[in-house]
Structure 1
Amino acid sequence: MRAWQAPSVPEVPGSGPRPVVHDTSTGKPVDPTHGEARAALYVCGITPYDATHLGHAATYLAFDTLGRAWRDAGLDVEYAQNTTDVDDPLLERAARDGVDWRDLAASQIDLFRRDMEALRILPPDDYVAVTDEVERIAEAVAFLQETGSAYAVPTPDSEGDDLYFDVNRPTESWSLGDESRMDRETMLALSAERGGDPDRPGKRDPLDPLLWRAARAGEPSWESAVGVGRPGWHIECSVIAGDRLGLPISVQGGGSDLVFPHHEMSAGHAAALAHQPLAHAYVHTGMIAYQGEKISKSLGNLVTVRGLLDDGADPRAIRLALLSHRYSDDWEWFDAELASATRRLATWDAWVGGGAGHADDADDVVARLRARVADDLDTPGAVAAVDTAVAGGTRSTPELVDVVDALLGIRIG
């Protein structure tokens, strides 16, 4: 599937340090590339049934920053992202609005592409629609069934059976809880809240996740190696990440609401399929609130990228407003965020256009920018370094302007 147009990224002399990021599974800072020359990144994509909100934008911006920092350190970066273009929320929204689910998905994917282009987010090398991978996912489910990691649950409203993953079947690369570090009560609650079905009769363990949903009347389905139906959520990412990037990947990324069950179960599926860990590190972005509640489609308290752009916002200011917060922090968006970023951007633009100042410490500013971004993507620190340079009378040399563009994705002047 087509991704979106890539922005230009200037080449800056020299190289930055290898980025260190916070690994959720260990709670420690790590170099997820293990010193290798290649970095492989998989970020879970959207379920395309509504507009791109600021939570989405902040997540993809964080991993865009990681990719930029890796490239600045001289690494070869391979990046894959999926789009879950068949899933219950999409089908429910299409039924509510009286539209074909495929048309809804296509329209929202196109909107997402345009928003990513406006924000100058680097596109993935592989942008993968789940509907294009159903056969391959079904083959993986068949393998799990053959090797005893999957089992059937009778499904009265279907001609076939649903297939589930056995979380209690041990593997050498995964056991339940290693990535989430949560107690069982919390995992049960989150499973019920985030797409699981812990109360489903016939399952061996309430936490066992769905691998394959047998066909129901009125739902899309495909002929496959495991019968007629469609994939479960977690197995999609396990298969796409492994097929496109090879396992283990450097980083599995997404919002913190994916820690459990999505990333936990994806890791379990990958281990059962490949006898390898899914990733060297699991990196998660914080949640953004608005009007006192986490921004979410289900709550309807959306601040959308498209809405801000349609109101005349400079996309650079949206990006700068998001970069002014630590990627891993939970925080709340206020309307003043955009106004503050717009003022800062105007100051930076005027600095580049002014031409005055001294260039003696410009190299030091470049080094500070690189150091801040490499230190667990400390973009607020990098923004502050630019502010300090502007206030301190440092001349905006071409190299300094280029490093702001290369690392922060903001072209000033």
Structure 2
Amino acid sequence: MTALRLYDSATRETTELVPVVPGRVSVYHCGLTVQGPPHLGHIRKEVVFDVLRRWLERAGYEVTIVANVTDIDDKILAKGVEQDRPWYAVAYENERALHAAYEVLGCQPPSYEPRATGHVPEMIEMIADLIERGHAYPATDDSGDVYFDVRSWPEYGALSNQDARDMQPAEDAPPAGKRDPRDFALWKGRKEGEPLTASWPTPWGRGRPGWHLECSAMAAKYLGNEFDIHGGGLDLRFPHHENELAQSRASGQRFARRWMHNAMLNLGGKKMSKSVGNTLSVAEVVKRVPAVAVRYYLLSAHYRSVIDYSEEALAETAVAFERIEGFVTRAAELVGEGAPGDVPDEFAEAMNDDLAVPAAVAVLNGAVTRGNGLLATGGEELRETLAQVRGMLDVLGVDPLSPVWRGDRSGQGATAALDTLVGTLLEQRATARAEKDFATADRVRDQLSAAGIDIEDTPHGPRWSVKGS
């Protein structure tokens, strides 16, 4: 088992991960609120937790990842009105876009991906329990809202290191029915004009769940009273995760043993955000740069470091990854692909130090440099180096020889039809060269070049790629 040390956002300390159940690691990280398609900032979090999962599994742990989908929310209802469509159609369309973004960037799907709308009974039960324990109350204005009583929980503010007395009012509901402006909504009564389909019957009237309550109820259902890691973007630490922690602990759960937050992806000096309007969709970015290089870009910085996005930095990362990919491809042609091997001790030490991926990438690049020096001679040393490099790339989820990336020549993935067409033309060129019909061979090459296909002749035959990829 690995001695993985992780920074805990709650204690502000880096300590060894000791799972609740030996040999198993349970992780809950907050998924997308699907009022719109995912942008690159959202997917940074998915890549971070995918790398964590891969490293834990490499170390022999059985890993359970739960990532919810928030498919009922004020913003989703507003989008439905704006687009003149049912709110659930908006949510489902954007949930499918989220899955497409997972796939295009090589992220493994969560072990479970529960929707908020599928767990309303658990939420109602949790609210009733909190009321019985004296930590929640129905609104006093007949709105049908139910609020968490912040003053009833002395530990409120511990996760975000704030004094509750200094906090601003919670803005998720009007203050009229609250005992204290900081109290936050567990349940929101149905408002006039809202679709009946967006509400459920409860002892407090028809309504829908508050955002924070959803995650607490789903985490408890799938991971139990106590689990190992709760994570998400740093922007969720307050109020979302603070509120989750308070209501879950107040209901008697031990909840998360540690909190893991990744830093933001900035664009133009500000956090990439739909509300700010400075977003880049995953679908658009992978048209310009191969998807595997986009993933490499998102993981190359330490997960707790801010990434200031720029097209230049992304292009530079794509070139850097092309060097790695070039070594793997050439070495595999000489000694065979083999399989991903064990990683060097230095790489493991970096990964065990709070997922220090930049230091791990430095070890990877050093191995690639040594491997390039072995290409001229080949042999067992090259085979071992290739296996080691592929082992490191496998942990990071960017092994070019993985089935996930084999077709990723253009950023979107080359189709089987394109592969067949280019292969047929290369066979015609090879036949022409064998018959010393060099004019025909050159004409085929020129046709491919005009179509945007680069051809490289190697000792093991021609290799093709889409220009710019």
| TM-score class normalised by the smaller sequence | 0.7 to 0.9
Matched ranges for 1:191-206 at <5 A: 191-192=170-171, 196-197=172-173, 200-206=175-181
Q: Could you report, residue by residue, the CA deviation over 1:296-326 in whole angstroms, capped at 9, with x for unpaired residues?
A: 00011101211112x2421110100011111
Q: 1:143 to 1:226 in 2, by over 3 A?
A: farther
1:169: how far off? 1.8
Equivalent position to 2:327, from 351, 362, 377: 351
Q: Which has the larger radius of gyration?
A: 2
Q: Which residue of structure 2 aligns with residue 22 of structure 1?
A: 7
Equivalent position to 2:150, from 167, 171, 196: 167
Equivalent position to 2:201, from 183, 199, 223: 223
Contiguous gaps of at least 5 residues in structure 1: 1-14
Sequence identity of aligned pairs in percent? 32
- Note if contact 1:373-1:407 (Cα within 8 Å) is conserved in structure 2: no
2: CA distance, partners of 1:94 / 1:228: 20
Q: Could you report, residue by residue, the CA deviation over 1:224-262 in whole angstroms, capped at 9, with x for unpaired residues?
A: 354311111111111100110112211110011111111
1:218: how far off? 2.7
2:253 is equivalent to residue 253 of structure 1: no
Q: Could you report, residue by residue, the CA deviation over 1:83-131 in whole angstroms, capped at 9, with x for unpaired residues?
A: 1100011111221222211111110000100110111112111100001
Aligned partner of 2:222: which letter?
R
1: CA distance, partners of 2:250 / 2:165: 24
When the two chains are superposed, the root-mean-square deviation of aligned CA atoms in Å is 2.2
1:30: how far off? 2.2
Q: 1:183 to 1:312 in 2, by over 3 A?
A: same
- Partner of 2:295: helix, strand, or coil? helix
Equivalent position to 2:274, from 297, 316, 329: 297
- Note if contact 1:352-1:396 (Cα within 8 Å) is conserved in structure 2: no
Q: Which residue of structure 2 aligns with residue 128 of structure 1?
A: 114
2: CA distance, partners of 1:389 / 1:396: 12
Matched ranges for 1:9-408 at <5 A: 17-34=2-19, 36-155=22-141, 158=143, 161-170=144-153, 175-184=155-164, 187-188=167-168, 191-192=170-171, 196-197=172-173, 200-219=175-194, 220-273=198-251, 275-309=252-286, 311-355=287-331, 366-393=344-371, 395=382, 397=384, 398-408=386-396
2: CA distance, partners of 1:37 / 1:84: 30
1:185: how far off? 6.6
Q: TM-score, normalised by structure 2?
A: 0.77
- Note if contact 2:368-2:389 (Cα within 8 Å) is conserved in structure 1: no
1:28: how far off? 0.4
Aligned partner of 2:278: which letter?
N
Range moving further from structure 2, 364-373 or 130-139: 364-373
- Note if contact 1:44-1:237 (Cα within 8 Å) is conserved in structure 2: yes
Aligned partner of 1:29: which letter?
T
Higher relative contact order (CA closer than 8 Å, sequence separation 6+): 1
Q: 1:58 to 1:187 in 2, by over 3 A?
A: farther
- Partner of 1:279: helix, strand, or coil? strand
- Note if contact 1:40-1:250 (Cα within 8 Å) is conserved in structure 2: yes
2: CA distance, partners of 1:37 / 1:56: 30
1:145: how far off? 1.4
Aligned partner of 1:321: which letter?
Y
2: CA distance, partners of 1:392 / 1:278: 47
- Partner of 2:187: helix, strand, or coil? strand
2:410 is equivalent to residue 410 of structure 1: no
1: CA distance, partners of 2:343 / 2:23: 26
2: CA distance, partners of 1:185 / 1:381: 41
- Note if contact 1:267-1:277 (Cα within 8 Å) is conserved in structure 2: no
- Note if contact 1:164-1:209 (Cα within 8 Å) is conserved in structure 2: yes
Q: Could you report, residue by residue, the CA deviation over 1:118-161 in whole angstroms, capped at 9, with x for unpaired residues?
A: 111121111000011112211111121122211011345x4xx2
Moved over 4 A (4+): 362-365
Aligned residues: 381
Aligned partner of 1:279: which letter?
A
1:31: how far off? 2.8
Q: 1:185 to 1:313 in 2, by over 3 A?
A: farther
- Note if contact 2:69-2:114 (Cα within 8 Å) is conserved in structure 1: yes
- Partner of 2:200: helix, strand, or coil? coil
2: CA distance, partners of 1:396 / 1:340: 28
1: CA distance, partners of 2:177 / 2:95: 36
Q: 1:369 to 1:412 in 2, by over 3 A?
A: farther
